Structure 1
Amino acid sequence: MAFDIIYNQEFTGDFFFDDEFNFKEYESCTFVNCDFTECHFKNAVFLGCKFIDCNFKAADINNISLRGVNFLNCDFTDVNFARIDQFIYEFDFTNCKMDYAKFYALNLQHVSFNSCSLISADFMEANLTKVLFDNCNLHLAEFEKANCEGADFYTSYYISLNPLKTKIKRAIFNETALPGLMSHFDIIVKK
């Protein structure tokens, strides 16, 4: 099936329905204040696109490609990213709400999460090598069996991960993260 190609367009305040994005390629497009809550993304490609103030809450994302994509002030509550195309990807998130989002077993190397809420996000078995978590709320986020080697958690907070079940070699943490790293050992850390 041939893809419809949409190039260099801006979409503002649009409400998208069901399968509008299936088998379409968007290149250098900007989406501002758009609502994707009813969308079922299947076999869509986004190249060099920006999403600003968009709502993806509980959208169905299935086999989409994200290459050079920026998300700013978007809501991804309860979105399952586990089925995105992992062949060639590049995306980052700034000031996004991503509570209960699922990144299970994804290869997210070098992705940036900047000032995001990731409460109860699922990063189990994900490759988070050199991922930047800058000023993120990681309350109850799950990292079991994830590879967090070289990840930067320095400015993030409410981190709780088990160093015996998560690879954290050369990961960067602030000293305030020590209680969350030690909580699995049933010890008390005092200052």
Structure 2
Amino acid sequence: MTDYFHDENHFDKTYTEDEFNLKEFEVCNFTSCDFTSCNFIGVTFTDCTFTNCDFSGARINHVAFRSVTFIDCQVLDVNFSMCDKLIFEIHFKDCILDFAKFYDLKMVGTSFINCSMIAIDFMNSDLTDVLFENCNLHKAVFHNTIANRADFTTSYNFSIDPEKNKIKKASFSLAGLKGLVEKHELVIRG
């Protein structure tokens, strides 16, 4: 039996390991909540917003994120790869996503705005039409990704091998071109 919550606001709560199991949230807002101890199982979030929340190290196996926005959240070392892949839609603004894992996910149209994404893993992901706006992608893993029409124009510190990724019509700034030819050890001045 799944518990259903609709149009609720949750403020300044610290959740326990299994407090969210088998629950469904629709049009709910979570503000200044701590999810670091959570082990999410069978949870669905639809049209929800998380603001100033901490998910660092949370286990989010078998969670459905359907049109979910994270604003000013800490999402350190979270593995999204085991999420429900049906209608997977998430957006991040002003978040710290260092060491998060998004491998094997279809993330078409996702937006990452002003995020720290150090050592994030996008291996085998579909990043078509993804917006990376002003993001630090230092040591981010792009391997066998589809990043067609992705926008990297204002992001920095990335290294993407065009021979191991599909980047047709992706956008880059002149300064960002260095991240595309890094493996060739070229010296680019300008």
Give the TM-score category using the shorter length: over 0.9
1:46-125, aligned counterparts within 5 Å? 46-125=45-124
RMSD: 0.8
Q: Which whole-Å CA distance do the structure 1 matches of 2:88 and 2:140 have between them?
A: 23
1:169 aligns with 168
Identify which range, 51-60 or 181-190, moves more after superposition.
181-190
Question: Equivalent pairs: percent with the same residue?
Answer: 42
Q: Which whole-Å CA distance do the structure 2 matches of 1:28 and 1:125 have between them?
A: 31
Segments of structure 1 that go 5 or more residues without pairing to the other structure are: none
> What is the CA distance between 1:56 and its match in structure 2?
0.1
Q: State the TM-score, normalizing by the size of structure 1.
A: 0.97
**Partner deviation per Cα, 1:117-151 (whole Å, 9 max, x = no partner):** 00010011111011110111101101011111110
**Partner deviation per Cα, 1:32-91 (whole Å, 9 max, x = no partner):** 000000000111011111100000000000111111211100001100000111111222
State the AA in 2 paired with 1:110: G
2:6 aligns with 7
State the AA in 2 paired with 1:168: I
Q: Which whole-Å CA distance do the structure 2 matches of 1:47 and 1:165 have between them?
A: 34
Secondary structure of 1:61's counterpart equals coil
The answer as to whether partners of 2:88 and 2:106 remain within 8 angstroms in 1 is no
Q: State the TM-score, normalizing by the size of structure 2.
A: 0.98
Q: Which whole-Å CA distance do the structure 2 matches of 1:101 and 1:91 have between them?
A: 14
1:29 aligns with 28
Identify which range, 84-93 or 74-83, moves more after superposition.
84-93
Secondary structure of 1:40's counterpart equals coil
**Partner deviation per Cα, 1:5-38 (whole Å, 9 max, x = no partner):** 0111111110001011111001111100000000
State the AA in 1 paired with 2:83: I
State the AA in 2 paired with 1:139: H
Secondary structure of 1:6's counterpart equals strand
Aligned pair count reads 190
Q: Which whole-Å CA distance do the structure 1 matches of 2:35 and 2:47 have between them?
A: 19
The answer as to whether partners of 1:21 and 1:44 remain within 8 angstroms in 2 is yes
2:156 aligns with 157
Q: Which whole-Å CA distance do the structure 2 matches of 1:35 and 1:126 have between them?
A: 28
